[in-house]
Structure 1
Amino acid sequence: MYAYKEKLKAINLYFKYESYAAVINELGYPSRLALRNWVEEHKRFGDVKKNITRRAKYTEQQKQTAVDHYLEYGKCYARTIRMLGYPSRALLTNWVMELAPQPRKFKRNGINLTTGEKEAAALALLTRNTSAQEVANNFGVSREALYQYKDQLLGKDVSSNKVKKSHDTDVNQLQDQVKQLREEIYYLQMQKEILEKAGEMIKKDHGIILEKLTNQEKTRLIDAFRPKYKLSQLLAFIDIPKSSYCYHKKQLALPDKYNDVREQIIGIFKEGKRRYGYRRIHASLKNIGIILSEKIVRRIMREENLVAKSIKMRKYNSYDGEISPAVPNVLERDFKADKINAKWLTDITEFRIPSGKVYLSPMIDCFDGALVSWTMSTTPDAELVNTMLDQAMQTLQAREKPVVHTDRGAHYRWPGWIDRMDSHNLIRSMSKKGCSPDNAACEGFFGRLKNEFFYGESWLGVSLETFIDQLDDYLVWYNHERIKLSLGGISIVKHRKTLSCVA
């Protein structure tokens, strides 16, 4: 039933297009016959009839009473209509569908089921858990027809017992699969929790490999999950014999005899700002009277995850071509010196931070690795190296004429550098072109410097001036406080004092 406005809209479009098809394509309604009738009616009477809304014949209370009676007294339409005297069967059916929608029994009188419906009915008959009559009622057919479908499609030899047995087999297989999947989920959940807990307890940065854990670490890991998982499952998953687990469990229950030393090792590591490995920490302990093997120190550091900074490659290159003739390599990679101020090494290294670049030019004494002098600047110019050389030469005694070894960088081939060297009778020595091992001792210092001071730190928001101040503090600390194993585990300045070389 179309509204009055919808009819007028269709009629007006027809008068505009003069085509029934065009109107129906645009509006999607009505049928061609209905539109033609509307147009004819409009031509004859100048308008079309308006829809008449009839007042409801039955109240909502009457509808609800009829539906309640139907549901309460056997769901029989005829009885409800006979007892109440209203409504029609069709109207009562609509009320039931509206107010009490639910599955209803139905019959198909003279209507044949499709092949698919027959197959479904036959399968339901053979796999039923109820009576055959209930299955027939659900499909709206008689009990006899249901068995006929089974005989036609599956044959008379197929009984419900055989189908049920096959059905039970399928169910058992599915149950086995569900059980297997649950076991896999349980195993994966245990694996996930163990790996996460191992990461928290052992605190390794590059992931956890259970096979590489020590038996003591595995024992601690198992104890963390004993309340939740069985011991046999944990031993098998973490791969540790039960005897080893029991042994380390007893060992862990004993007091930690290295507890005090452990705290001192952590303190030394933090004071050194993560720059000391186990050898220097072992030497530091020895200096304060604590005798402990390097193996124990290394083990405690591993347990506490005390890892020194790693070395990275240098990038700055000061080579700028053959500006002046190169001098021979006097040192020939012999960086050992029998006295102070006999062999000096120098080079330039670059520090790149978000604020910019800083360049360092130090002078290193081969005798004990002391920093004779150093300068820092934001540009690697001649003033950087010349000022450093002037400061270094001020520390020399009258008869001291050290060999100054450099690479073939442009700074050491400019006239300013050469004039200063000649005026103080210092001996120049240069590495071969592109051969960094010829100045390996200086390169080694730069590696230690960046490993201990630069790498692994966040320099975001640090100005160049602040960075230069911090670098200068490190270089002072390097001379006065940093211990060297080659000097017997003491600092450079302290070593020189023992030799009466520093007042």
Structure 2
Amino acid sequence: MVKYTREQRLRAVRLYEQYDRSAASVTDELGYPSRQMLVRWHRAWVEAGRDDGGSLGDGRGERYTPGQKRAAVDHYLRHGRCVARTIRALGYPCKALLARWVDGLEPGRRRVRRAPVDARTRRRAVAEYASGSRTSRQVGEELGVSADVVRNWKHRMLAGDDKECAMGGDADKGGTPKAREDRHRDDGGRSLGDMRRERDEIRSQLTRMRAEHDELEIIRYTKELLGKGRGADPDNPANAGRTRLVLHLADRFAMMPRDLLGRCGLSRSTFYDNRKRLGRPERDEWLLDPVRRAFEQSRERYGYRRIWRMLRDQGIRVCARRVMKLMTRHGIAPKLRSRRRYNSYSGEHSPAPANLVNRRFHAKAPNRLWVTDITEFRIGEGKIYLSPVIDCYDGMPVAWSIGTSPTAELADTMLEQACATLKDGEHPVIHSDRGCHYRWPGWIRICERHGLTRSMSAKGCSPDNAAAEGFFGRLKQEFYYNQNHQDDSIDEFIDALEAYLVWYRDERIKTEYGMSIRRHRQALGLMA
């Protein structure tokens, strides 16, 4: 390359300005330089403030300032370490000069082109990468190639065809069969056939593991989608459930539905038929609104049997199972919950009468057998107690009293109210647990005055008073549990409980009769 002194360059750039930046005029007069070189000299001279030639080099090839060198190196590092890209963008320098600048300013950062990697080295590199001992970037940096090249080697070796021979190039050609086989041995002495067999075994293990993983995912999503409802059997779902499962899994794993039909045990025709049905309106859609209205009228206390009775009274003739399925499908169910019960037992205060009922809670006529007990309710302002008398003929609450303390007066008041409903000649058996309220003198006097026969269950044996316990269970499931009574005042709660007991007696449908207890007695002429 021709070298020009500082004075020659300074003279050229001054003439360049004098001739209105006509490079051809300068070249015709001086015989040098080229147009590109003259433009570069002039740019450097103008950036230096038109100095005395110091910016134009000393005649020994130092034609670029430190700033220009740094700019070229930074561009090279920021734009993929491509020499041609930097030269096109900046217009300088040559490839060799840029390489010297990078080595001087950023040692070790320049991309170095190396000779082609032979097949044996490639296989060793792929083995290190596939075993997980080193990353593709680490292997590539050692060999002077990018991480993408290492990954591409792996894909080509796992392709299972003749591409492996093509990777070897000329190094794999020629020689005896034994020599060629020796060139394909790794550091451990394994031949190419052994490595291929090992590759096939690993590939089959990977296929089995993927299949097992897919099966586990299918089972998990089956339980999530189909195992939540009552009576659902995730191990043997219906065809409609299998269809929903196929559609969900196909979307989840980006698969075609036809590829999942065999795994889900569904034929192609059944799948497409059920998929069409899923888009149609529900068969019982017209029945949903009447069921919801009946459920709301029961204050969300009725199950499907009583809802079915209400629908029959409204002239809607459907089977009870259909109502049950519809309520289950739409989550229409009474709020159920269990709570610790109030216990009124406080010891043996007087001799207990015999258990005359012996768990036979049936009566052939009203006012033959009564049962009683006390239960507790907790709200935000305190506790409330209910003491009812239940007629075992039809479960009718004959009388009740409500208070804030479980006193003897609460039980005595209730018993006096119940006895006031008795007709001449009616002397029922009054059965209770062993609570202290039923052993005080006041309770005993009321029983003797009205001719009631006392009966008591065994100590700590709730089944002996199952009729009263069952009444309390129904009452609390429908009125108390999962209901928002915590913000009620005591008077508001007592009024609500009083209204419920009246509704229970006069309006609540008893499934045995298909009507309320009061209506049943009126139909039999036992009540006005």
Q: Which TM-score applies when normalising by structure 2?
A: 0.61
| Matching residue of 1:160 | 183
Assess, with a 3 A threshold, how the Cα gap between structure 1 residues 239 and 272 changes in structure 2: closer, same or farther: farther
Mapped contact 1:358–1:464 kept (Cα < 8 A):
yes
Separation in structure 1 between the aligned mates of residue 464 and residue 95 of structure 2, nearest angstrom: 110
| Matching residue of 1:95 | 104
Separation in structure 2 between the aligned mates of residue 363 and residue 377 of structure 1, nearest angstrom: 15
Mapped contact 1:126–1:160 kept (Cα < 8 A):
no
Separation in structure 2 between the aligned mates of residue 477 and residue 319 of structure 1, nearest angstrom: 30
| Matching residue of 1:499 | 524
Separation in structure 2 between the aligned mates of residue 128 and residue 239 of structure 1, nearest angstrom: 45
Mapped contact 2:120–2:185 kept (Cα < 8 A):
no
Mapped contact 2:361–2:467 kept (Cα < 8 A):
yes
Higher relative contact order (CA 8 A, sep 6+): 1
Assess, with a 3 A threshold, how the Cα gap between structure 1 residues 473 and 258 changes in structure 2: closer, same or farther: same
User: Are 2:435 and 1:409 aligned?
Assistant: yes
User: Are 2:383 and 1:357 aligned?
Assistant: yes
Mapped contact 1:311–1:448 kept (Cα < 8 A):
no
Residue correspondence of structure 1 range 193-232 to structure 2 within 5 A: 195-198=223-226, 204=229, 209-222=233-246, 229-232=255-258
Separation in structure 2 between the aligned mates of residue 365 and residue 222 of structure 1, nearest angstrom: 56
SS of structure 1 residue aligned to 2:385: strand
Deviation at 1:170, TM superposition (A): 6.0
1:321 to 342, 347, 363: 347
User: Are 2:417 and 1:391 aligned?
Assistant: yes
Mapped contact 1:275–1:451 kept (Cα < 8 A):
yes
Separation in structure 1 between the aligned mates of residue 323 and residue 122 of structure 2, nearest angstrom: 79
Mapped contact 2:247–2:257 kept (Cα < 8 A):
no
Residue correspondence of structure 1 range 53-92 to structure 2 within 5 A: 60-61=66-67, 64=70, 72-74=94-96
Residue 334 of structure 1 aligns with an amino acid whose one-letter code is: R
Mapped contact 2:521–2:527 kept (Cα < 8 A):
yes
| Matching residue of 1:376 | 402
Mapped contact 1:323–1:413 kept (Cα < 8 A):
yes
Separation in structure 2 between the aligned mates of residue 398 and residue 287 of structure 1, nearest angstrom: 37
| Matching residue of 1:293 | 319
1:347 to 364, 369, 373: 373
Mapped contact 2:371–2:468 kept (Cα < 8 A):
yes
Separation in structure 2 between the aligned mates of residue 303 and residue 482 of structure 1, nearest angstrom: 25
Deviations 1:420-456 (A, max 9, x none): 2222332222223333333221121112112222233
Deviation at 1:414, TM superposition (A): 0.7
User: Are 2:327 and 1:330 aligned?
Assistant: no
| Matching residue of 1:15 | none
Deviation at 1:293, TM superposition (A): 2.9
| Matching residue of 1:422 | 448
Deviation at 1:366, TM superposition (A): 1.7
Deviates more, 1:277-286 or 1:176-185: 176-185
User: Are 2:121 and 1:124 aligned?
Assistant: yes
What is the aligned length?
A: 394
Deviation at 1:329, TM superposition (A): 2.8
Deviation at 1:364, TM superposition (A): 0.8
Deviates more, 1:263-272 or 1:490-499: 263-272
Deviation at 1:460, TM superposition (A): 4.4
- State the Cα RMSD in Å: 4.4
Separation in structure 2 between the aligned mates of residue 65 and residue 269 of structure 1, nearest angstrom: 80
SS of structure 1 residue aligned to 2:362: coil
1:483 to 509, 514, 525: 509
Deviates more, 1:436-445 or 1:120-129: 120-129
Assess, with a 3 A threshold, how the Cα gap between structure 1 residues 74 and 173 changes in structure 2: closer, same or farther: farther
Structure 1 residues without counterparts, runs of 5 or longer = 1-57, 81-91, 107-119, 130-134, 140-155
Identity %: 38
User: Are 2:280 and 1:271 aligned?
Assistant: no
SS of structure 1 residue aligned to 2:121: helix
Mapped contact 1:344–1:365 kept (Cα < 8 A):
yes
Deviations 1:261-313 (A, max 9, x none): 34323332333244323332332233333333333333333333334444636
Deviation at 1:121, TM superposition (A): 11
Separation in structure 2 between the aligned mates of residue 490 and residue 445 of structure 1, nearest angstrom: 17
Q: Which TM-score applies when normalising by structure 1?
A: 0.64
Mapped contact 1:262–1:300 kept (Cα < 8 A):
yes
Structure 2 residues without counterparts, runs of 5 or longer = 1-63, 74-82, 127-139, 145-178
Deviation at 1:360, TM superposition (A): 1.4
Mapped contact 2:218–2:249 kept (Cα < 8 A):
no
Mapped contact 2:431–2:454 kept (Cα < 8 A):
yes
SS of structure 2 residue aligned to 1:74: helix
Separation in structure 2 between the aligned mates of residue 420 and residue 65 of structure 1, nearest angstrom: 111
Assess, with a 3 A threshold, how the Cα gap between structure 1 residues 459 and 238 changes in structure 2: closer, same or farther: farther
Mapped contact 1:344–1:366 kept (Cα < 8 A):
yes
Residue 328 of structure 2 aligns with an amino acid whose one-letter code is: R
Residue 210 of structure 1 aligns with an amino acid whose one-letter code is: P
Separation in structure 2 between the aligned mates of residue 340 and residue 66 of structure 1, nearest angstrom: 108
Residue 121 of structure 2 aligns with an amino acid whose one-letter code is: A
Mapped contact 2:302–2:334 kept (Cα < 8 A):
yes
Residue 327 of structure 1 aligns with an amino acid whose one-letter code is: P
Separation in structure 2 between the aligned mates of residue 452 and residue 376 of structure 1, nearest angstrom: 18
Separation in structure 2 between the aligned mates of residue 365 and residue 442 of structure 1, nearest angstrom: 10
Separation in structure 1 between the aligned mates of residue 72 and residue 336 of structure 2, nearest angstrom: 89
| Matching residue of 2:136 | none
